[in-house]
Amino acid sequence: MVGLAVGMFIVAAALLSTVHLTESNRRVLLEARLNQDMRATMDMVTRHLRRAGYWGNAQAGARGADGSATSYATTGYAEVTPVAGAASAVSLRIAQDADDLAGADETFEFRLEPDAQGKGRLQVRLAGATNYQDLTDPAITDVRDFSVEPRNADPVALSCPGSCASGSLPACPTLQVRRYEVSLTARASFDPAVQRTLQATVRLRNDALSGTCP
């Protein structure tokens, strides 16, 4: 009897250890899949945001011999939303041609949208597309928060060969360095206890240039 009791105790301990090991392995797998899905999504968002404002005919913004120039601000490529405050969606434009007017076929959008089961998913609408596509997989990832917030530097006046009217902003041309903070929080669809947050600060390669020299 004593031997049987000891044997049963050992078997129970072994079974318990196996259950714990299985649960640990399952959790590690969920974390790995969640991290992979989130990092791939964050990488796509930040890569597009970094290129926001690219203008294929930027040389037209330089004053020519005849004194003409095209304002970067009027092309529409410089526009990135949100302009102020945090938002769960971001819209940007990247030139696909060398003309001077941004169009729907050059607009990219990212947004947080719940599915029919209430699980959060990050979606993208590619340039020229009419529908959104899922970036995150609801079977793996339940996005709880997506935030994009501008952290732009103050505009800096540029010098001109001639004097600017009044010599102060905004009469002189200005240059503004643009940065955005991106935050993504998600949890595993099959285990809400598995949750991760990714954050990134993105500097746009294309600074906001406004105004022209007299």
Please, which pLDDT band fits residue 192 given cuts at 50, 70 and 90? confident
Indicate the pTM of the whole model: 0.81
d(CA 133, CA 141): 15
d(CA 86, CA 50): 17
Which structure tokens are listed for 145? 């928060």
d(CA 182, CA 149): 7
Please, which pLDDT band fits residue 167 given cuts at 50, 70 and 90? very low
Q: What is the pLDDT of residues 1-52, one digit of tens each?
A: 666 666 666 666 556 666 565 556 566 677 889 999 999 999 999 999 999 9
Return the domain boundaries, the chain: 2-210
What number of CA atoms fall less than 13 Å from residue 74's CA on the CB side? 8
Pick the range with the lowest mean pLDDT from 20-24, 78-82, 142-146: 20-24
